[in-house]
């Protein structure tokens, strides 16, 4: 197993969630006074739900050596190696590897729910993957659809919210309808936010954010001097999450690259490269990645303390 771990265990301080700023939807409080009672009640409801979830998570013991207070809030995963897994085992159809990979994802979702990870973003299908053979692409689309259908009740029971990011224009209509339905039915869940990147491109994500800001400047709703990192981040697709930037990125199958995934969001993310192929990535491998993460000191440009 390869990783970028440091040898000395050091407490990991996670970033706080982003706060409202001058670009916030509610920056003009004079226009929102009539909404304050509703907003306050909603905030109290959210706090109560979070307290219940924190108690439920705290009741689940962590594997030995892991610290709950040092758990990454957002974990991103490049699920690589399904086809190689199938070939190594003599399967004629590569679909066997994708089926096995789906089982690994189910287990990872369960572990994140139990151990207190708040956001899990998985790279399920790259925009660049559309060039793959049609039979493989069609199978992946049908597998995604079957998994969403079969896991919906589990997502609701677990308190998991599901969102998708990426260009959905080329997805089958039945899949687009199902995604919309699953997102609607799970939108109020807050124990875990599962973000599935389908037809996603990190370069396009940044490009569309720049275009959106440029249009707002053209329309006069944003001034040139208002453009900063915070404004751009609000236009990225991961802005749907409470913690939009991953603390930890895991890539399986021994490949040492990020493959056009979350290019802006990974600026200060800790990277962990696992030798295991994705279908073989389970609890033990996840514990190793989390242990490596908790041994690092995140400095964000500063010096080691």
- Distance, CA of 119 to chain centre: 5
Contact 24, 276 (CB under 8 A): no
Q: Provide CB contacts within 8 A for 104, sequence distance 6+.
A: 79, 278, 279, 280, 281, 282
Block residue for tokens 């758990």:
71
Judge whether 138 counts as a catalytic residue. Answer: no
- Residue from 21, 46, 48, 80 carrying the catalytic annotation: 80
Q: Which residues are within 8 A (CB) of 270 and not within 5 positions of it... i.e. 6 or more apart? A: 4, 72, 247, 248, 249, 293, 296, 298
Contact (CB, 8 A) for 123 and 77: yes
Q: Cβ distance 246 to 75 under 8 Å? A: yes
Among residues 231, 254, 252, 233, which one has the least CA distance to residue 244?
Answer: 233
CB 197 within 8 A of CB 191: no
Pairing of strands 2-3, 270-273: antiparallel
- Which active-site residues does the annotation give? 80
């Amino acid at each position: 197993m390869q990783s970028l771990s440091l040898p000395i265990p050091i407490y990991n301080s996670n970033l706080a969630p982003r706060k409202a700023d001058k670009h916030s939807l509610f920056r003009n409080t004079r226009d929102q006074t009539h909404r304050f009672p509703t907003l306050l009640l909603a905030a109290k409801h959210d706090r109560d739900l979070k307290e219940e979830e924190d108690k439920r998570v705290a009741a689940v013991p962590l594997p030995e050596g892991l610290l709950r207070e040092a758990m990454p809030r957002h974990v991103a995963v490049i699920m690589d190696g399904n086809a190689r897994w199938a070939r190594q085992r003599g399967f004629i159809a590569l679909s066997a590897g994708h089926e096995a990979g789906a089982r690994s994802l189910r287990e990872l979702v369960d572990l994140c729910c139990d151990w207190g990870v708040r956001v899990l973003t998985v790279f399920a299908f790259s925009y660049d993957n559309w060039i793959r053979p049609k039979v493989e692409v069609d199978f992946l689309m049908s597998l995604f659809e079957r998994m969403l259908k079969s896991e919906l009740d589990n997502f609701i029971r677990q308190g998991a919210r599901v969102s998708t990011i990426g260009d959905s224009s080329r997805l089958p209509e039945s899949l687009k309808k199902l995604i919309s339905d699953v997102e609607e039915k799970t939108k109020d869940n807050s124990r875990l936010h599962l973000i599935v990147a389908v037809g996603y491109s990190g370069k396009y994500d940044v490009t569309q954010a720049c275009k959106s800001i440029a249009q707002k400047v053209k329309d006069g709703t944003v001034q040139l001097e208002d453009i900063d990192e915070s404004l751009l981040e609000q236009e990225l697709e991961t802005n749907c999450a409470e913690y939009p930037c991953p603390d930890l990125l895991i890539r399986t199958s021994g490949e040492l690259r990020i493959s056009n995934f979350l290019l802006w969001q990974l600026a200060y993310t800790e990277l962990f490269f696992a030798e295991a192929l994705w279908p073989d990535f389970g609890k033990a491998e996840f514990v190793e990645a989390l242990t490596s993460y908790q041994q690092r000191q995140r400095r964000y440009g500063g010096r080691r303390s």
